[in-house]
Chains A and B, each alone.
Chain A
């Protein structure tokens, strides 16, 4: 399988179309991808249908019933403001996945631009961009993120941007490495001979062939982004209320762990399952696309 994946891009024509055919078959035969995808799809559905599925309004408080345990009316119990944990967990899917996917989108866009530019132009462009990436990669990201979020605030938009930007160096490195391996191939050389502009070559020939690497890397990063938001929530710097996130719910519930375990346990499990699912899908995709890059992504 691996051999096939590596050889395909060597075809003279842009190999995207050829590869696409067998891809679906291979993906479907990969158990991890299937299991992970099903979990993710269900979570997506829950997030989209939150308004229908949630039995209560996620921010509706019944102060008199604060920290009430699981019951028929509230299967996951109620939190420290008497809010329904199940409903908040359902809406939490929306916010957590939203934060995860949008921040990864930012990571990928920045990472791809820098990686492609560095790989394509080489020489000083490459040196400058990669030294910049090196600087970023040696700073412990979470520490930097903590400082930045504490100083500049944590509204959802900023938070997504910060989490997204903080992860770009890894993506840029992977993309650059892939670009370097694509550059000497026939279809790129052919495009250059014909006199295509750099922008066109990048957009039409490079980026489509980068997709496998990008998709794998993106999938694996979604879980990391959700965990990062949880880590920031621990310090009170996560997505601000009233929007519920799983990480924030676990962080809020931790002080009641001994008197009301349900407040943090259910959202924690949801978070755990979804992050595992993104990893399963990412791992599976990588197995399908190219098993050798295992430790880079």
Chain B
């Protein structure tokens, strides 16, 4: 259930992107100061190479989770993977550095005041149904999202477009700030925004001719949700519920046809079945666990790639709890120092994971390598707990004022065994951890959202959205969704407010660096590991080299049979 879990944890949607507020720095420029990363998804020796020799034609069968819908309201992470090869935005994100590059727009440029963007559209683009794409479709897409009938509220980025608010409130019949001409789109903003382009990248353009008569409230109920029409290199042929989704090459794609004729995505509820299919040749590509990976690596019939871990896992607590010292920084630091990540990586993950010390991915530009870390140091962990007044009592469990330091940890089936491996490490410094609450994902997230737990193993997937929102989602108070930790640092909040109005790119980076210095210094979480994403495909199929999982799907047109 790991796949589902991740997808719901991220609950990625286009709207998420648009929600973030920020300063006026040009996003791409920020990437210049991206720190060199200690983590990398290097391909294994003899691993996959990009596919210059790939033949045109043939099909590949892969394993991928079932999407909720293929319409624009998809909330599943797998939906984002699929959109990357069936749909297009005006611009797209280049992985893994997340720079904005042209897509349906050949070029784009902001005005000198940063308030007007002009996009020159690619000529001769066709929809999957053969109709011609035009600037009207772009305008339609914005009006579809800001439509009064659309149940989603206006996102911050959408509201920033001139006239969008009036359109939403039925005061206008169009969004005046979006002007379509023959092969140009001009978008006027109320205030300059550094997130505008990123939010565009996840806004997949919709066909006006197909959806003009569909109410945005009913889009998920429309046949479009099951067999959509976009402009991407593959089009959806058939979605057989619970069985498979078939995609075929869109030969009229504006960047040329993809190599493969067909992609069949099979849906496996049980990873053991997918594994059996991968071994028997029933599917040609899948992701496996560290335990199986070595077997495939040494098998000449397969190619493998080790991709960077996009999800970081950590222990977190309800800091508002009055019985246990979760609200005290030295306690949280002590827990972090009790965890022997090196052993964890070497054993449970067979070396195929990285130690985790931060919320931000070390691959992303916001990452501050100098932010405080609390690495393994058992002696210091014990010292910190002693200093807090929690003294070792009976059975080696610490006590203070008659309370034993023995609290419940909420885990899911995915994180259960990882936590079991950590248990003895915590026990070693006197923290009782035998109360393990195994719940399914919906229960976990409901309880997390309302803070109805003591401690939990939590995970956060980076690279799904703007890396700045990774930080905001956890460190800014009040948090936009349910508040899992109760963490609040006024200085951090002030910095987030400052970032919203910061103008220069250096300023942005400086502020986010500072946020990490403070929040990571508060040891909000006890970080654990970042498991690598382990890709396996049969030798006959060649995949482009990738650093992160999203690239695998983004590069689908380059897949080919050799």
Contact = CB atoms under 8 A, between A and B. Distances in A.
- Report A-B touching, CB under 8 Å: yes
Interface of A: 59, 61, 63-64, 66-67, 80-82, 150-151, 153-154, 236-237, 240-242, 252, 254-260
Nearest to A153: B439
B450 to A, nearest CB: 16
A61 to B, nearest CB: 6
A81 B412 CA distance: 17
B397 interface: no
B410 to A, nearest CB: 11
A82 B291 CA distance: 13
B400 interface: no
A144 to B, nearest CB: 16
B277 interface: no
Contacts of B271: 255
Contact of B434 (A80, A151, A242, A254): A242
A63 B436 contact: no
Contact of B347 (A64, A150, A154): A64
A46 to B, nearest CB: 24
Contacts of A153: 439, 443
A81 B436 contact: no
19 contacts: A61-B421, A61-B424, A63-B344, A63-B348, A63-B421, A67-B291, A80-B348, A81-B421, A82-B347, A150-B442, A153-B443, A236-B440, A241-B436, A252-B417, A258-B275, A258-B276, A258-B292, A258-B295, A259-B291
A151 to B, nearest CB: 8
Given A66-B348, A242-B434, A258-B279, A237 B440 contact: yes
Nearest to A154: B438
A244 to B, nearest CB: 11
A262 to B, nearest CB: 14
A254 B348 CA distance: 17
A258 B271 CA distance: 13
Contacts of A260: 291
Nearest to B294: A259
A256 B443 contact: no
Contacts of A255: 271-272, 275, 289, 291
A66 B295 contact: no
Contacts of B279: 258
Contacts of A259: 291-292, 295
A197 B439 CA distance: 48
B293 to A, nearest CB: 10
Interface in B343-399: 343-344, 347-348
Interface of A is mostly: loop
A150 B440 contact: yes
B416 interface: yes
Contacts of A242: 420, 434, 436
Interface of B: 1, 271-272, 275-276, 279, 289, 291-292, 295, 343-344, 347-348, 412-413, 416-417, 420-421, 424, 434, 436-440, 442-443
Interface of B is mostly: helix
B443 A236 contact: no
B436 A240 contact: yes
A81 B413 contact: no
Contacts of A150: 440, 442-443
Contacts of A252: 417
A201 B197 CA distance: 82
Given A63-B347, A255-B271, A255-B272, A240 B440 contact: no
A10 B304 CA distance: 76
B348 A256 contact: no
Contacts of A241: 416, 420, 436, 438
A19 B442 CA distance: 55
Contacts of B416: 236, 241
Given A61-B424, A81-B421, A242-B420, A236 B347 contact: no
Nearest to A254: B272
B415 to A, nearest CB: 11
Contacts of B442: 150
Contacts of B348: 63, 66, 80-81
Nearest to B414: A236
Given A61-B420, A81-B421, A259-B292, A240 B347 contact: no
A56 to B, nearest CB: 14
Given A63-B343, A63-B347, A241-B436, A257 B420 contact: no
B489 to A, nearest CB: 34
B509 to A, nearest CB: 39
Contacts of A82: 347
A254 B273 CA distance: 10
Give the 4 A-B residue pairs with the shortest CB-CB distance, closest first.
Answer: A236-B413, A63-B347, A240-B438, A150-B440
Which interface residue of B412, B417, B440 has the most chain A CB atoms within 10 A?
Answer: B440
